[in-house]
Amino acid sequence: MRALLPAVDAPAGLVLGTAGEPDPRPDQVLVDVRHISLNYGELHFLSRLPAGAVPGWDASGVVVRAAANGQGPAVGTRVLTYGAGFGAWAERRAVSLDELAVVPDSVDLAQAAALPVAGVTALRALRAAGPLLGRRVLVTGASGGVGRFAVQLAARAGAEVVASVGSPERGAGLEALGAGQVVAGLDGITRPVDVVLDAVGGAQLVAAFGLLAPEGVLVSYGCASGEPSVFPPYSTVGPGKSLVSFRIGDRLGADMATLLRLVEERRLTVDTGWRGPWEKAAEAAEALLGRRLLGKAVLDVTAA
């Protein structure tokens, strides 16, 4: 089958090649992949992939072989899938039953493909911050894949959202998604915040920690800046502020179903900043890593 594979000398380190067919376990379905989405992490760490592995976490498609254990969706069901063990960027993938969700009829399969890693990270990182009703929540990297979902989910949960982006033009559309204030860097934040959801790391994380109100919590889920965070002496000593490290974890099925329901009910918008065939994957990857993309990149898995 065709698959998008790492290639050191290719543009963006990606080439459309061939890979062996997946061999589903009894608790897995076989899915005909129709759309995939790209994430910063899988692109940034592509060179760390085990030799021969097919990359990719997020894919949507149609079940072509039901699980041999008799459970899960039937052949022909439209599904959204995730796999921490990669395997999404191919014509077919094997998926565990707790890493998939059925896509409602009214939700576009291509839109759905944008949800797994970015949407579930936003959902779970906000949960890790605790109750949000009436809280002031700062979302950094708000222009990105996770950020645009986090702004919306925090606003829906009753928070007052401050969205931080790299430059004013990168803030396009964020007020419509629920941000009460959009700032470049951390400029213009004049009152403390209760929660920070941080994608950027580095010096900005240190400054954002300084903006926390007493008992506030900073959830660190990314480091898109690639910079170290150096805290001045005593800046971490104080009235019960917390810094929580976050990782997405596994068993995304139930949370992906929640996000799909929100999309179905038009309470969650999927912003696709790049859409095209997977033959143009390098173009999409370069736009994402070059910070020229608002929201997600979704690729169509076309037939040869």
Ligand X SMILES: NC(=O)c1ccc[n+]([C@@H]2O[C@H](COP(=O)([O-])OP(=O)(O)OC[C@H]3O[C@@H](n4cnc5c(N)ncnc54)[C@H](OP(=O)(O)O)[C@@H]3O)[C@@H](O)[C@H]2O)c1
Q: Of the two residues 154 and 200, which places its CB atom closer to ligand X in the complex?
A: 200
Confirm or reject binding of residue 55 to ligand X (CB under 6 A). Answer: no
* Cα 185 → chain centroid: 21
> Residue 192: helix, strand or coil by DSSP?
coil
Among 28, 37, 81, 143, binds ligand X (CB under 6 A): 143
Confirm or reject binding of residue 141 to ligand X (CB under 6 A). Answer: yes
Among 3, 40, 162, 212, binds ligand X (CB under 6 A): 40
Among 77, 225, 258, 269, binds ligand X (CB under 6 A): 225
Phi, psi of 155, rounded to the nearest 5 degrees? -65, -45
Quote the least distance from Cβ 200 to ligand X, whole Å: 4
Tokens standing for 117? 């890693």
Phi, psi of 162, rounded to the nearest 5 degrees? -110, 120
Task: Return the range that interacts with ligand X (CB under 6 A); candidates 4-12, 16-24, 82-90, 216-224.
Answer: 216-224
Confirm or reject binding of residue 41 to ligand X (CB under 6 A). Answer: yes
Q: Of the two residues 19 and 223, which places its CB atom closer to ligand X in the complex?
A: 223
Q: Of the two residues 22 and 171, which places its CB atom closer to ligand X in the complex?
A: 171
Confirm or reject binding of residue 299 to ligand X (CB under 6 A). Answer: no
Confirm or reject binding of residue 224 to ligand X (CB under 6 A). Answer: yes
Beta bridge partners, 62, equal 32, 78
Among 12, 100, 113, 146, binds ligand X (CB under 6 A): 146
Question: Residue of minimal CB distance from ligand X?
Answer: 144
Among 3, 288, 299, 301, binds ligand X (CB under 6 A): 288
For the stretch 197-229, what's the b/e string if a residue is b when 16 or more beta carbons lie within 10 angstroms of its beta carbon? bbbbbbebbbbbbbbbeeebbbbbbbbbbeeeb
Confirm or reject binding of residue 177 to ligand X (CB under 6 A). Answer: no
Instruction: Give the Cα separation of 44 and 152 in Å (integer).
Output: 25
Instruction: Give the Cα separation of 204 and 184 in Å (integer).
Output: 11
CB within 8 Å of 220: residues ≥ 6 apart? 198, 201, 205, 243, 244, 245, 246
Confirm or reject binding of residue 186 to ligand X (CB under 6 A). Answer: no
Instruction: Give the Cα separation of 271 and 162 in Å (integer).
Output: 19
Confirm or reject binding of residue 117 to ligand X (CB under 6 A). Answer: yes
Confirm or reject binding of residue 37 to ligand X (CB under 6 A). Answer: no
Instruction: Give the Cα separation of 162 and 45 in Å (integer).
Output: 29
- Which residues sit at the interface with ligand X, rule CB under 6 A? 39-41, 117-118, 121, 141, 143-147, 165-166, 170, 199-200, 221-225, 246-248, 288, 291
